């Protein structure tokens, strides 16, 4: 499965618009190669370089498996967004501490063999537990962002 964005290439710089220094919009995404028997898609955006360990910026599950595009700044229709590590529901853009080297933000999309029964305020740990043994395919897109 492949995840791409018209906003940045894999390994490229996340545009300011999609960060805490800009409008804080989720990036536009395109998905290809979703397996035929996928029941739902799930998504996680995590900062791998956060000072106190991996930090979740966005988690979504029960995305329609026929989804090929997620427009910038839009909630996936019919899906559920969980509680990120800022304590908010939905997308919160990259926001590394000033002076850190650019952080790596890994956006992972999972093709799942079932819909997930999670509470609306589920955490990334809850989502990852529910994906265990039910993931058909995974695609990632990594962006970098630093605040100087």
What confidence category does residue 117 fall into, taking pLDDT thresholds of 50, 70 and 90? confident
How many distinct structural domains can be found in the chain? 1
List b or e across 118-143, with b for residues whose CB sees 16 or more CB atoms inside 10 angstroms.
Answer: beeebbbebbbebbeebebeebebbb
Residue with tokens 């804080």: 24
List the domain range (segments joined by +) for residue 140. Answer: 2-145
For the domain that residue 105 is a member of, what is the CATH number?
A: 3.90.280.10
SS3 content of the chain, % helix, strand, coil (to 5): 5, 35, 55
How much is the average pLDDT of 44-58? 96
Instruction: Identify the pLDDT of residue 121.
Output: 86
Is the predicted pLDDT of residue 109 greater than 90, yes or no?
Answer: yes
pLDDT digit string, tens, across residues 62-98: 999 999 999 999 988 899 999 999 999 999 999 999 9
- Which pLDDT does position 133 carry in this prediction? 96
Assigned token pair, 91: 């997308």
pLDDT at 106 over 80: yes
Q: Are 10 and 139 in contact (CB under 8 A)?
A: no
CA 50 to chain centre: 16
């Amino acid at each position: 499965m492949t995840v791409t964005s018209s906003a940045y290439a894999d390994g490229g710089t996340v545009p300011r618009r999609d960060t805490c220094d800009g409008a804080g919009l989720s990036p536009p995404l395109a998905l290809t190669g979703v397996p035929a028997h996928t029941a739902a898609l799930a998504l996680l955006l995590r900062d791998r370089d956060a000072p106190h360990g991996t930090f979740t910026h966005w988690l979504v599950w029960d995305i329609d498996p026929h989804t090929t595009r997620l427009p910038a700044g839009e909630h996936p229709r019919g899906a559920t967004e969980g509680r990120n590590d800022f304590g908010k529901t939905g997308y919160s853009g990259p926001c590394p501490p000033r002076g850190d080297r650019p952080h790596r933000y890994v956006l992972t999309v999972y093709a799942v063999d079932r819909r997930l029964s999670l509470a609306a305020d589920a955490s990334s740990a809850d989502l990852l537990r529910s994906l265990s043994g039910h993931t058909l395919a995974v695609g990632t897109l990594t962006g970098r962002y630093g605040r100087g």
